[in-house]
Amino acid sequence: MITSSPSTTPGHALVTGGAGFIGSHLVDRLLAEGWQVTVIDDLDPFYARSVKERNCAGHFAYAGHRMLEGSILDDALLERAFNSDRPITVVVHLAAKAGVRPSIENAMAYHQVNVTGTLKLLERARMAKVPHFVLASSSSVYGVDPNVPWREAGALLAPISPYAATKLAAEQFAQVHARLHGMQVTALRFFTVHGPRQRPDLAIHKFFKSILNGSPITQYGDGSTRRDYTFVGDIVNGVVAAMARSKGERYEVYNLGNSETITLARLIASIEEVTGRKAIIDRQPEQPGDVPQTFADVSKAQRDLGYSPSTPLRAGLEAFHAWYMQEHAAKQVG
């Protein structure tokens, strides 16, 4: 359970992707604070269904929790989601086809879910007169802008992967809905989120698994690429703060990062320290679609949302390690 900053008054939240990595932590928080939560998640086979089932297993103990399994592209499912005795007070849209490299191979599928799916949700929210729509975006929309740290205003938005392009397109549709229909929309650009329940395809999870198993880890490039690693608890605090946003225009966009960059080489060294094991490194060329660095300026989120990331990389890696070992033990027992 992740706790921290004060929440808005509990209402009825529709959380898409609520069985995933970030989404399940957010749902943990909202249910504990007395929210009614409707979750839409298709349990996408991008990674094992059992992982998501474990993520959200504790949610079913709450009377205010409702789980709808299916796609945000399914009109009938969306009708059920928005048809409730208690009107939805906020949509938190986290669902998306994830991953930069897979998007290069299947751009059309990414467009359908991440763009068309977002537009469908925006339209449903508009028709239902939902007061606030919170959209999960990504630091990938900045592309290779060399002017770091990245600020929301005036930044060069130049995506270099289909995934990043779909996230920027979703932001633009959200902005149009805010302007045309008077909807309050808050877009949040997440920066390399890590922590317990992280997806198994992401670097930190893969590195821990390989190092603990004594297998080589694949390092793309010379280790100099840099990322703004942000702990999932800090991200959830930012999302909850955004749900209560009362400042700014009807449409606002915020960076949610840690405002510190870490090289890939340093990340690997830190994981070695946490596990007490040495990595076997398989060096490969840099991959298409990968950006050389990410670096968030979070001053706007600090000013408007009270966002204040406080979890150092080492503490986040230790939390992931503890979770990973528990997961491994549970699988062995099972």
CA distance linking residue 118 with residue 73, whole number of Å = 9
- Show the tokens assigned to 130: 């939902």
The more confident residue out of 13 and 48 is: 13
Lowest-pLDDT range of 62-66, 215-219, 244-248, 297-301: 244-248
In the residue annotation, 163 being an active-site residue is answered as yes
In a domain? residue 269: no
Structural domain harbouring 34: 12-194+230-259+294-310
- Mean pLDDT, rounded, for 203-227: 96
Nearest to 182 by CA among 117, 243, 122: 122
In a domain? residue 4: no
In a domain? residue 298: yes
CATH number at residue 39: 3.40.50.720
CA distance linking residue 116 with residue 331, whole number of Å = 37
Beta-strand runs (E) in 192-261: 193-194, 216-220, 226-227, 230-231, 251-256
Nearest to 259 by CA among 223, 301, 303, 309: 309
In a domain? residue 69: yes
Q: In the chain, how many domains are there?
A: 1
The more confident residue out of 229 and 286 is: 229
In a domain? residue 144: yes
CA distance linking residue 148 with residue 146, whole number of Å = 6
In a domain? residue 319: no
User: Which among 110, 142, 163, 254 is annotated as catalytic?
Assistant: 163
Lowest-pLDDT range of 3-7, 97-101, 107-111: 3-7
Give 265-307 pLDDT, tens digit per residue: 999 999 999 999 999 999 999 888 788 899 999 999 999 999 9
- Show the tokens assigned to 31: 């249910």
CA distance linking residue 322 with residue 189, whole number of Å = 27
CA distance linking residue 331 with residue 309, whole number of Å = 32
Question: Could you identify the residue written with the tokens 């209560």?
Answer: 244
Give 141-199 pLDDT, tens digit per residue: 999 988 899 999 977 898 999 999 999 999 999 999 999 999 999 999 999 999 999 99
In a domain? residue 78: yes
In a domain? residue 5: no
